[in-house]
Structures are given as structure tokens and as C-alpha cells.
Amino acid sequence: MELFWLEHKKLWQRGSVKISVLLCFVYIVIFGSILSFQWFSFGSSNDHTSAFGNYFDGYSQIRKCQEYSLEYGGSLTDETLQQMVRDYQRIGEAGMEAELEKTDQSIINGWLGTLYPELRDESIYQTMTSYVDTKKLTGFYERRQQAIETFLENSGQTGAEREYLLSMEGKVEKPFRYEWVEGWSQILGSTVAEMGIVIALFLAIVLSGLFAGEWHNNTSSLVLTTKNGWEKIAVAKIFTGLLFALELFAVLSIGSIGAQLFFLGTAGWDMPIQAIKLIAIAPMNMLQAEIYEYAFTLLGAIGFAGIVMLISAAVKNNVQALLLSLAVVYGPMMIDQYLPYGAQMALDLLPFVGSGADIFRTNTFHFFGRIIWSPYLLLVVPALIGVVCMPVAVMRWARRMRA
């Protein structure tokens, strides 16, 4: 245990580690959460002196949006949808642009485009909510069901796979609860969903030198002369890297959740995720989806840390270890569009290559005749990869130390 804490202290004493954690915190918590809520995404618009065109008033603007949505709170029905669109049209006709900013107009417009495509008028260069005949907005849930079935058919998801997905969708509670959706769309579609790809960069920077750094600093021979020997030191390094991954995740998640609670509170946590994407089939509410995405990021961090430490133990050059580690995540993104669909799905199982936002999709894997919804495997497989890599890293480093 003493050796482990010495290695942990040694890691945190490196200036590059402190800078990496600080930069990661600034990018994800300060810019991605606090400033995004207060300025970039939810500040009221038309500030021509701002680089983003928004005022620095996100907190009050979010409260206004949440209060406005309560006028339609409760169950989402055909009548509720018609009333929302009528109100949007009335506000737009009156030229009250500031009032429209309080609405879920972009979300509702997406609903209309998905469920009522025949009402779209290509000759009118405005959103559907501004001109659609509200009397024709009927059969919301029937149309949604048809949209899901059409999507599955167009995706080639038929037979047993179709039945599997539709049985999952059948567990979604209807009618939907409705409150202000845009805030949750930002959290689940961007803030949490994209956290892993940033964490990967800084984990690679910090952990790529964990083993390779002994060669770079010419301390490998010294390790062999210590009373602990290579094996105990290697195990201590593995647990040090693992703990660092958990510490980095904890700092970022606590900061992001704190900002979320401050700006958005807990309003709307029990809305179904279908309010964000209508044809999603997962029977999840917003809170459950957020827990899943944080779990995806945590387990992905564990998996990626294991891979990076294995690469670090396998090479003797810090730069080479860093580049190979980054290639594990960013390489598949570069070549993804050129690969067959099956290969793309397989690469998604690598840590941070897939996305926590898969809960909004209908992707599945087929194993020995069994159909498995992709988010289940995306949660488990990356962590298993990392766990397998860790003992291999110890053995690989041992082989190099003996050479």
C-alpha cells in the first residue's frame, strides 16, 4: 500500500498532470457546463457585442423557459401539442421574438417534421410551427408508432430484431410527461455524451508515460535494484493509473452535476427521453438516461486507462506511447465512414469510440442467435477490455525489464 501511494504521489507531482487536469476541468466544467448554461447556449439572444450573440443571463432565461413550459405541463396529448403550436404562431405573428426564446420551438418543430411530414411546405422558408394547420395535428402516438416501424423497416431491422425492439418500446409509458425539454437535450446530447472523448485525450497524456517514462527518464535500471522489484512496482503503477482515471472522472462529473443542479435544478427529470428523440425505443426517463451516460463515461475511462497503460508498458518511448494511445480512440473516428457497418459496430466496443447517446438509437448486436441492444454492450465491454489489459501490462513490462 505504501508503494502504491508513493507512485500516486509521484504521478501527481508531475507538472503535466496538474496542467492536464486543470485544462480538462476548464473545458468540460467551466466552458462545457457553466458558461454554456449561462451564456453560449441559453443566454437570451441579440447581444451584438457578444461573440456568441447571447447575453450573460442564462440562469434567469432558463427559469423563464421552465416556468413557461408549466403552462403545458402534465400529459402530452394532441390537444396539448395543438395548443403549444397555436401559441407559438400567435407569439410569432406578434413579433415577440423574446417570448419565442422561452419556448421549446426547435424541439416541437422536430416533432412535427418527424410525425407530420405531409404538412411541410417547402415554399415557405420558416419553421413548421409557424405555419402548420394545428387542426391537423392529431394522432400523435399513432403516428409515432408508425414512424418507429417505418424507421426499423428502412434500417433493415425486421423479423426477430424488429419484435425485440418493439417489445422494448412497448414499455415506454404513454402519454408522455412534458416540461421544458431543451435543457435536457443539451445535457444528454452534448454535455455528458461528449465528455468521454475529451477525457480520453488527457488520460492518454497522463498515463502514456506511466511505464514508458521509466525508460525515458533512465530509471529502469534503478527499479531493478529496489527491494520491491518490478512486479510490485508494476502493480502499484496499474492501481495508480486506475485511481487517477477515477479521480479525473469524479472531479469532472461532480463539477458538471453541480452546475446542472444550479442552473437547471431537477425539473423534468421524469420526462421520457422520447421528448428529445421521438423514435427512441428505450423505456428511460431523463434521469435514468443521464445515469447511464455517466456510467458509460466512467467504465469507458477504466477501459481506456487499461489500454493506455498496456501501450505504455509495451513501448520505451513516451511520444510513441502517447500517439498510439490517441490512435485507439481517434483513429476509428477517422476511418469509420470507410468501413462496413459491421466493422463500425465492432469498433464502437472500444473505450470511448462508441457513444453514450446510443440509448437514443436502435443499434443491436447479434451473438449466437441472441439479439442484444447496443447500449448494454457499450456499457460493459470497454471496461472488460481495460481489466484484461492491466495484468497483460504488468507481464509486458516485466518482459522488457528483464531484457
Task: Please report which confidence band the pLDDT of residue 226 belongs to, taking 50, 70 and 90 as the band edges.
Answer: low
Q: How many helices (H) and strands (E) does the chain have?
A: 17, 4
Task: Please report which confidence band the pLDDT of residue 221 belongs to, taking 50, 70 and 90 as the band edges.
Answer: very low
Instruction: Return d(Cα 110, Cα 107) in angstroms, integer.
Output: 5
Q: For the CA atoms of 79, 81, 87, 88, what is the dihedral angle to 10 degrees? A: -160
Question: Crossing angle for the helix pair 140-154 and 159-169, nearest 10 degrees?
Answer: 150
Instruction: Return d(Cα 304, Cα 225) in angstroms, integer.
Output: 31
**With 70 as the cut, is the pLDDT of residue 217 above it?**
no
Q: In the structure grid, which three cell numbers stand for residue 96, read together?
A: 415577440
Instruction: Return d(Cα 255, Cα 252) in angstroms, integer.
Output: 5
Q: Average pLDDT in the 264-273 region?
A: 97
Q: Please answer whether residues 376 and 349 qualify as being in contact, where contact means their C-beta atoms are separated by less than 8 angstroms.
A: no
| Residues 31-90 pLDDT 10s | 999 999 999 999 999 888 887 889 999 999 999 999 999 999 789 999 999 999 999 999
Residues 6+ apart with CB under 8 A from 341: none
Q: Average pLDDT in the 279-299 region?
A: 98
In DSSP notation, 272-296 reads BGGGTSTT-----BHHHHHHHHHHH
Q: How much is the pLDDT for 225? A: 45
**Percentage of the chain lying above the pLDDT 90 cut:** 83
The pTM for the full model equals 0.95
Kindly report the length of the chain.
403
Q: How much is the pLDDT for 231? A: 79
Q: In the structure grid, which three cell numbers stand for residue 371, read together?
A: 439479439
**One-letter amino acid for residue 402 of the chain:** R
By mean pLDDT, which of 121-125, 221-225, 235-239, 397-401 is the weakest? Answer: 221-225
Q: How much is the pLDDT for 224? A: 46
**Percentage of the chain lying above the pLDDT 70 cut:** 95
| Residues 327-362 pLDDT 10s | 999 999 999 889 999 999 999 999 999 999 999 999
- Run of H or E residues at 64: helix 58-69
